[in-house]
Amino acid sequence: MANCFSIGIDDKAGLFPIASRFNHSCHPRDNIKYTFDPDSETLEMVVKVDTILAGDELTISYGTRRTPIDLYYRFGFKCCCGACPGLKKGETDYIW
């Protein structure tokens, strides 16, 4: 199953197969920004080319206000992007 994106319009969401393939990186290490255009009903993605070197992975932020524990609760992964402090030992012991 692909990732679902909240599009910021009421409680609507969308499935965007290409966008869902990008891994997460916390801001400011993410190098792709995305916005939803309600007129065309498309997800517009902009690559920050000035921040990318040859061989770098393209990443998006799953939310600029998300904490590592929130990412774990909501998406089920431990963030190790290098832009955030990550999870502390024991923080996930009682989640599942």
pLDDT tens-digit profile of 75-84?
A: 888 888 888 8
Helix (H, G, I), strand (E, B) or coil at 15: strand
Q: Would you list the domain boundaries of the chain?
A: 17-75
pLDDT for 4: 63
Half-sphere exposure of 37 (CA within 13 A, CB side): 7
pLDDT for 8: 65
pLDDT tens-digit profile of 4-58?
A: 666 667 777 777 888 888 888 888 788 888 888 888 888 888 998 888 889 989 8
Contacts of 3 (CB under 8 A, 6+ apart): 19, 20
60 touches 34 (CB < 8 A): yes
* pLDDT at residue 1 greater than cutoff 50: no
Tokens 């989640």 identify what position?
Answer: 95
* pLDDT at residue 95 greater than cutoff 70: no
Amino acid at 52: I
66 phi, psi to nearest 5 deg: -80, 140
> Taking the complete model, does pTM exceed 0.75, yes or no?
no
pLDDT for 96: 52
